[in-house]
């Protein structure tokens, strides 16, 4: 436990000691701020429209939870997909490139302690950026009747999704000693896990269902609406563990090459 | 303290280390000497559990590097070829971090870090960022990192590479100081280094051990033949001709500077009187006559050069 904490603190210092945390956080908040602003403007137009039409045509009343908060969380998922690889790219690639991996691997640490320390640090930074973003939700709460249960459930979804994204990024980082290669591998993998949802049914309904099930972001959909389905939670946790396990295998493979 | 038993390491078809066997006693400073690519780094990486061996075994303080890596890692301090430094960290917080992952209990951590900085002469650099240090200071931080948890065994891969002569002196002093309480293995291809710092030298070439002995013994027994340096004011060729006739002389050739002769004679007797007598007799103007003692450099060349030429 102490070893995990040591790695965690080292990584945190490194994130905040270099521009990376600030650049990524700024970029992410800028992008999300823009998208959020769009949601709000659109919602206002919808409200105006609705008040003029006087519910004549059986149109649903605009709902801040559905029209703003839900979309806000769904668009976040996509932006995180692009941003997370930039947070994870250095975790192992930098150590390999600069030779510091030799320090970690010849110290009395287990490979799991190193992986978990790095994972926790990255997830910590992810949570910090996410908390900054959530200030936007408080803005909404002044103007609409916010369902806090739904917000909380969506936050859980974002956290679980983040763990999965980070685990993919960590695996990519462990495969190479170049950060740029790590970021590309992570990005391709994550994008692939996103586009599988568009598989044509020509490949067979069963296969299309399987592929759709692998689509990470679609598992957040229910939670973003306030329904925490244990199967989604289990999916994310298993996914994260699986990729961390693959990372462990990659790092340990050095020890089998006799 | 360290037992290496028929160690072999192959990378695909390339044999980096072949059937290496040696022991290092507690408190010894052993130099690992060999040309680049001889297998020094590979051997050190196996001893520090960074890489497994293909065949054979190695034990550090009684623990097998393959089966008990945790116990071995706890007892080893290691400076790899490239010092494993985080360039964006402060010297002090870097050493603090290393102390934590090396398992130094928190109550001793401060004093251990201070002590290591003191020994490596980087006390005044504690608050500097590692990336801004000069190469010499980075190397010292690397050494501080290797010794700060007071390990039984310290393994240094080319500790003085890239340092200026003053810094090299300094680091050698540090290493000598370590030898009293710790077992030290250091690798180098700089010859004076082992002569000055090591109790024993292991010369390794093309993955095999070429010689194991003290620096003194190695230089003494480089070759069975005695060698002399002769300078004359007369003709060199005439002098060479004259000396060849002396009984016991096996070889006469121009010395490296082309201004004198280098003579090789077999046997234990001192050939100086007979060579001098012959030169005086022929009136060739003897200017200088002295024995050439083999330095470690010659031993090294003799042990590692031939095979390379033959390969």
Instruction: Identify which of B45, B78, B97 has the shortest CB distance to residue A10.
Output: B97
pLDDT-derived band at B311, boundaries 50, 70, 90: very low
Q: How far is CA B181 from CA B64, B76, B285, in A?
A: 22, 13, 56
- A interface test, pick of B100, B130, B142 with most A CB neighbours within 10 Å: B100
More confident residue, B123 or B267: B123
CB B272 within 8 A of CB B258: no
Kindly state the percentage of chain A with pLDDT values over 70.
97
pLDDT-derived band at A258, boundaries 50, 70, 90: low
pLDDT tens figures, B126-162: 899 999 998 888 988 999 999 998 899 999 998 887 7
CB contact under 8 A, A108 and B73: yes
Q: With 70 as the cut, is the pLDDT of residue B107 above it?
A: yes
pLDDT tens figures, B163-201: 788 878 888 888 888 877 889 998 887 777 777 788 888
From chain A, pick out residues whose CB is under 8 angstroms from the CB of B81. 99
Six token digits for residue B47: 């001893």
CA of A95 to nearest chain B CA: how many angstroms apart?
A: 9
CB contact under 8 A, A103 and B98: yes
CB B172 within 8 A of CB B193: yes
Exposure of A6 in the CB half-sphere (CA atoms within 13 A): 24
For residues A151-155, give the mean pLDDT: 92
| Chain-centroid distance, C-alpha B205 | 12
CA of B14 to nearest chain A CA: how many angstroms apart?
A: 12
From chain A, pick out residues whose CB is under 8 angstroms from the CB of B101. 3, 6-7, 103-104, 107-109
CB contact under 8 A, A103 and B89: no
| The model's pTM | 0.84
For residues A19-46, give the mean pLDDT: 91
CB contact under 8 A, A3 and B70: no
For residues A130 and B202, what is the distance between their CA atoms, to the nearest angstrom?
57
Q: With 50 as the cut, is the pLDDT of residue A192 above it?
A: yes
User: What's the residue count for chain B?
Assistant: 311
CB B142 within 8 A of CB B158: no
Q: Which residues contact B20 (CB under 8 A, 6 or more apart)?
A: B4, B6, B7, B8, B39, B43, B56, B204, B207, B208, B209
Q: Check residue B308 and give its pLDDT.
A: 44
More confident residue, B220 or B261: B261
For residues A239 and B133, what is the distance between their CA atoms, to the nearest angstrom?
43
For residues A184-203, give the mean pLDDT: 88
For residues A119-135, give the mean pLDDT: 94
Q: Check residue B18 and give its pLDDT.
A: 87
CB contact under 8 A, A17 and B89: yes
B104 touches chain A (CB under 8 A): no
For residues B21 and B208, what is the distance between their CA atoms, to the nearest angstrom?
9
Across chain A, what does the average pLDDT equal? 89
For residues A228-254, give the mean pLDDT: 93
Q: Check residue B221 and give its pLDDT.
A: 58
Q: Check residue A257 and give its pLDDT.
A: 66
More confident residue, B280 or A233: A233
Q: Check residue B307 and give its pLDDT.
A: 47
CB contact under 8 A, B97 and A9: yes
Q: With 90 as the cut, is the pLDDT of residue A161 above it?
A: yes
CB contact under 8 A, B88 and A17: yes
CB contact under 8 A, B84 and A102: yes
The β-bridge partners of B289 are: B230
Instruction: Identify which of B50, B53, B82 has the shortest CB distance to residue A106.
Output: B50
pLDDT-derived band at B309, boundaries 50, 70, 90: very low
More confident residue, A152 or B175: A152
The SS3 of residue B72 is helix
From chain B, pick out residues whose CB is under 8 angstroms from the CB of A11. none
CB contact under 8 A, A103 and B84: yes
CA of A121 to nearest chain B CA: how many angstroms apart?
A: 15
CB contact under 8 A, A99 and B82: yes
B26 touches chain A (CB under 8 A): no
């Amino acid at each position: 436990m102490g070893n995990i904490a040591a790695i965690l603190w080292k990584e945190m210092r490194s994130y905040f000691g270099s521009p990376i945390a600030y650049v990524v956080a700024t970029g992410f908040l800028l992008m999300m701020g823009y998208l959020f602003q769009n949601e709000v403007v659109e919602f206002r137009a919808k409200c105006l429209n609705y008040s003029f039409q006087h519910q004549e045509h059986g149109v649903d009343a605009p709902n801040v939870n559905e029209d703003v908060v839900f979309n806000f969380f769904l668009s976040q998922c996509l932006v995180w997909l692009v941003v997370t690889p930039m947070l994870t790219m250095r975790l192992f690639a930098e150590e390999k490139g600069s030779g510091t991996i030799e320090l970690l691997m010849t110290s009395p640490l287990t490979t799991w302690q190193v992986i978990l320390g790095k994972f926790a640090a990255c997830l910590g930074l992810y949570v910090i950026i996410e908390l900054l973003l959530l200030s936007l939700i408080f803005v909404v709460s002044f103007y609409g009747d916010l369902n806090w249960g739904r917000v909380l459930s969506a936050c859980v979804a974002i956290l679980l999704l983040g763990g999965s994204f980070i685990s993919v990024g960590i695996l990519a980082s462990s495969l190479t000693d170049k950060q740029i290669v790590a970021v590309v591998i992570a990005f391709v993998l994550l994008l692939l896990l996103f586009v599988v949802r568009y598989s044509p049914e020509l490949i067979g309904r069963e296969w299309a269902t399987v592929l759709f099930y692998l689509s990470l972001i679609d598992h957040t959909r229910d939670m973003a609406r306030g329904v925490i389905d244990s199967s989604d939670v289990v999916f994310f946790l298993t996914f994260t563990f699986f990729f961390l396990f693959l990372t462990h295998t990659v790092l340990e493979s050095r020890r089998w090459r006799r | 303290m360290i037992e290496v038993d028929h160690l072999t390491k192959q990378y695909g078809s390339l044999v980096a280390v072949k059937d290496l066997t040696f022991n290092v006693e507690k408190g010894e400073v052993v130099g690992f000497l060999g040309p680049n690519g001889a297998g020094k780094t590979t051997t050190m990486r196996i001893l520090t559990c960074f890489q497994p061996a293909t065949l054979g075994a190695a034990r550090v303080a009684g623990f097998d590097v393959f089966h008990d890596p945790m116990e071995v890692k706890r007892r080893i301090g290691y400076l790899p070829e490239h010092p494993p430094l985080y360039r964006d960290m402060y010297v002090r917080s870097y050493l603090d971090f290393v102390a934590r992952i090396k398992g130094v209990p928190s109550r001793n951590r401060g004093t251990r870090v201070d002590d290591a900085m003191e020994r490596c002469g980087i006390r005044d650099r504690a608050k500097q960022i590692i990336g801004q240090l000069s190469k010499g200071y980075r190397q010292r931080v690397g050494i501080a990192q290797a010794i700060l948890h007071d390990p039984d065994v310290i393994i240094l891969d080319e500790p003085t590479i890239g340092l200026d002569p003053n810094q090299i002196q300094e680091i050698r002093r540090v290493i000598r100081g370590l030898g009293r309480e710790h077992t030290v293995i250091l690798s180098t291809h700089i010859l004076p280094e082992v002569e000055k710092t090591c109790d024993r030298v292991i010369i390794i070439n093309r993955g095999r051990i070429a010689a194991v002995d003290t620096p003194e013994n190695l230089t003494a027994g480089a070759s069975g033949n005695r060698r002399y340096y002769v300078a004359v004011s007369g003709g060199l060729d005439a002098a060479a001709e004259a000396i060849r006739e002396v009984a016991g002389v096996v070889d006469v050739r121009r010395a490296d500077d082309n201004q004198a002769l280098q003579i090789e004679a077999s046997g234990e007797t001192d050939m100086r009187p007979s060579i001098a007598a012959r030169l005086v007799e022929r009136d060739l103007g003897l200017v200088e006559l002295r024995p050439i003692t083999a330095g470690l450099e010659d031993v090294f060349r003799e042990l590692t050069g031939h095979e390379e030429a033959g390969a």
